[in-house]
Structure 1
Amino acid sequence: MIHFDHVTKVYESNGTSFKAVNDVELKVEKGEIFGVIGFSGAGKSTLIRLVNLLERPTSGSVLLNDRDMASLKKSELREQRRKIGMIFQHFNLLESKNVYHNVAFPLSLAGVPKKEIDSRVTEILEFVGLSDKSTQYPDQLSGGQKQRVGIARALATSPEILLCDEATSALDPETTKSILDLLKRVRDEYNITILMITHEMNVIREVCDQVAVMEQGQLIEQGTIFDVFSNPKHQTTKNFVRTVMQDEIPESILRLLSDQERSRHIYRITFVNETTGEPILSRVSKGFDVEVNVLHGQITELQGVPFGNLIVELQGEQSEILKAIHYLQTSVQLKEVTAHAG
């Protein structure tokens, strides 16, 4: 559906060049919600603006349904852009127009007859839950309501693709969740492909099917939400995952362990799918002369799959600990950690 084919975007300024996007190879399939995450300056905003050719690639191609956007004539590009909706961090609403006319605006620009505009706007406002706000103006709305207007406006032209540029960054957590739930409905009920950029990993975890991590214009890691969250490879990805997953021993516990003279047997245990609900640690305590001390962790869900990540200490004689480790390795992922490494 969307294919970044080795895309590079270079900006020239005062005799120097800067690669905002550097040789990005990425595919977004039809009907996916695909998230691109990165810190400020990573290149993600430039990347999303390449889709509708608000920015033109310096090299490489951006293909939508196998059509190279840069090769289109002006009339063809205008037609293609009508199939691409966009929502923004700060809503970008017309303050002098009410909700109805904000949503109707792109349809009016496209020359759609008034009767069709009325029908479409009524349908979309009902879909986003703002049927009773059609005559109100942006300054009368909450942040979440403004973003719903932005989504309605983006959906007005019946797009095939929806681009979300930090769409929830200006919203509180509760409102963010309601907007993300709405975006999932947009994908499910309208079969729209969604490409979103964000710096919030909880947004990625909540709504996306796939994620790509950007740093200094390059893609450094990508995959399914489950794969990236359960086993991040790059340090930057690990840093993002740690903002929403409790996978490290707190400093207070590390200090406590470091103060002890005797050696410690500390392990990270990863439970996936059906093993998450099994009493494996209880079986270890009952089956071996070993005490299991849970230091830290959580049980959560990733893309509908139960996922647990616990850091435990095994206490007992070395021979019994080795037996317990062998048993655990048959059921779960097990990795030794140290009190200093975390």
Structure 2
Amino acid sequence: MIRFDQVTKSFDHEGTSFKAVNQVDLEVQKGEIFGVIGFSGAGKSTLVRLVNQLERPSSGKVLIDGQDMSQVSSGKLRSIRRGIGMIFQHFNLLETKTVFHNVAFPLTLAGAPKRKVKERVNEILEFVGLSDRANHYPDQLSGGQKQRVGIARALATSPSILLCDEATSALDPETTKSILNLLKKVRDEYNITILIITHEMNVIKEICDRVAVMEDGKVVEAGSIFNLFSQPKHPTTQKFVQTVMNDEIPKSILDQVETRYIYRVTFTDGSASQPVLSNVAKQFDLEVNVLYGQITELQDSPFGNLIVEFQGDDDEIQRALEYIKQQVIIQEVKSDGR
């Protein structure tokens, strides 16, 4: 539904040109929640602003339902933008307007009849759980409630696409979780395509179907949540995954381990409940020592991550490793090179 085709966006500053987005190829499918993650300055916010043409690409194409956004007329662009909602990190609410009028604002701009505006605003406020706050002003709301108003306003025009630019960065963890649950509800009940920009891997883990990792304006890795968590290839992806999995072994512990064989064993789907390591200890003449362990959920499926050391004869350990590779993902963490 949303496609970036070799998209580059350059900016000039004091006679120097730099590429905030550099030859990005991405496709976001209809009805999915797609995340774009990167550190500050990676180009992710510029990327999302290219979707609704708040920024125009220097080269390449941004296509929505196959239509090149840079080729549409100004009138057509306004029509397309009404089908693209956007929510922001700092809410961007009108402080002198009530919750009702904040949500009604895009409908009023579009010239919708007052009766239709009232019906739609009441419907959306009920959906986001703010019916009892309709006559409140923004300064009477919590951060989570303000963001719910922002979501309601973005949904007012019945968009097919929702863009979220760091929508949870200003919120505490508990409120973040409630907002992410609301966004899932938005996708599930309205079949809206959601593109989320964030620097928080927990947000990606909780809500996204697929993710792209950006660095220096480029997409350095992209794929399903399972693939990126189980086998992150790029160093930047590995850093982000590390913030969630928290499975780095302290050097003091590694220095005390005498064995050559330390591995990360990743269990996904049905394998998370299988006694793979227990079977290894029974079938092979070796010792298995778990240094770290964690089981979490990714997209409502169990995901296990263990750091283990194997102690025993080299040949026996190699046989055990081959056995494990047939059932789960296993990656070397440490070797002394022998």
TM-score tier after normalising by the smaller chain length: over 0.9
Instruction: Determine the structure 2 residue equivalent to 1:55.
Output: 55
Displacement of 1:73 in angstroms is 1.3
Task: Give per-residue Cα distances to partners, 1:151-210, cap 9 Å, x unaligned.
Answer: 000000001110000000000000000000000010110011111100001101100111
Question: Structure 2: how far apart are the matches of 1:218 and 1:320?
Answer: 44
SS at structure 1 position matched to 2:303: strand
Instruction: Determine the structure 2 residue equivalent to 1:107.
Output: 107
Instruction: Determine the structure 1 residue equivalent to 2:242.
Output: 242
Higher mean C-alpha deviation, range 315-324 or range 283-292: 315-324
From 307, 311, 316, the counterpart of 2:312: 316
Tell me if the contact between 1:104 and 1:156 (Cα under 8 Å) persists in the aligned partners: yes
**1:20 and 1:325, CA in 2 relative to 1: closer, same or farther beyond 3 A?**
closer
SS at structure 2 position matched to 1:243: helix
Letter in 2 for 1:202: N
Structure 2, unaligned runs of 5 or more: none
Displacement of 1:16 in angstroms is 1.2
SS at structure 2 position matched to 1:103: helix
Question: Structure 1: how far apart are the matches of 2:162 and 2:40?
Answer: 22
Instruction: Determine the structure 1 residue equivalent to 2:73.
Output: 73
**1:91 and 1:290, CA in 2 relative to 1: closer, same or farther beyond 3 A?**
same
Question: Structure 2: how far apart are the matches of 1:5 and 1:270?
Answer: 34
From 266, 282, 285, the counterpart of 1:286: 282
**1:13 and 1:326, CA in 2 relative to 1: closer, same or farther beyond 3 A?**
closer
Displacement of 1:248 in angstroms is 2.6
Higher mean C-alpha deviation, range 318-327 or range 13-22: 318-327
Displacement of 1:285 in angstroms is 2.4
Tell me if the contact between 1:37 and 1:44 (Cα under 8 Å) persists in the aligned partners: yes
The equivalences for 1:146-295 within 5 A come to 146-257=146-257, 262-295=258-291
Task: Give per-residue Cα distances to partners, 1:41-64, cap 9 Å, x unaligned.
Answer: 111111111111111111111111
Displacement of 1:290 in angstroms is 2.4
Question: Structure 1: how far apart are the matches of 2:10 and 2:313?
Answer: 61
Question: Structure 1: how far apart are the matches of 2:59 and 2:316?
Answer: 61
SS at structure 2 position matched to 1:121: helix
Question: Structure 2: how far apart are the matches of 1:199 and 1:44?
Answer: 9
Question: Structure 2: how far apart are the matches of 1:298 and 1:106?
Answer: 46
**1:216 and 1:326, CA in 2 relative to 1: closer, same or farther beyond 3 A?**
closer
Displacement of 1:340 in angstroms is 7.6
What is the TM-score normalised by the length of structure 2? Answer: 0.95
Instruction: Determine the structure 2 residue equivalent to 1:325.
Output: 321
Tell me if the contact between 1:254 and 1:339 (Cα under 8 Å) persists in the aligned partners: no
Letter in 2 for 1:160: S
Letter in 2 for 1:271: F
Tell me if the contact between 1:254 and 1:340 (Cα under 8 Å) persists in the aligned partners: no
Matched, 1:4 2:7: no
Instruction: Determine the structure 1 residue equivalent to 2:82.
Output: 82
Matched, 1:297 2:293: yes
Instruction: Determine the structure 1 residue equivalent to 2:14.
Output: 14
CA RMSD of aligned residues (A): 1.6
SS at structure 2 position matched to 1:39: coil
Question: Structure 1: how far apart are the matches of 2:15 and 2:319?
Answer: 66
Tell me if the contact between 2:34 and 2:208 (Cα under 8 Å) persists in the aligned partners: yes
How many residue pairs end up in the alignment? Answer: 337
Matched, 1:36 2:36: yes
Displacement of 1:298 in angstroms is 1.3
Displacement of 1:252 in angstroms is 3.4
Higher mean C-alpha deviation, range 7-16 or range 324-333: 324-333
Displacement of 1:74 in angstroms is 1.4
Question: Structure 2: how far apart are the matches of 1:8 and 1:318?
Answer: 51
What is the TM-score normalised by the length of structure 1? Answer: 0.94
Percent identity reads 68
Tell me if the contact between 1:32 and 1:193 (Cα under 8 Å) persists in the aligned partners: yes
Letter in 1 for 2:303: F
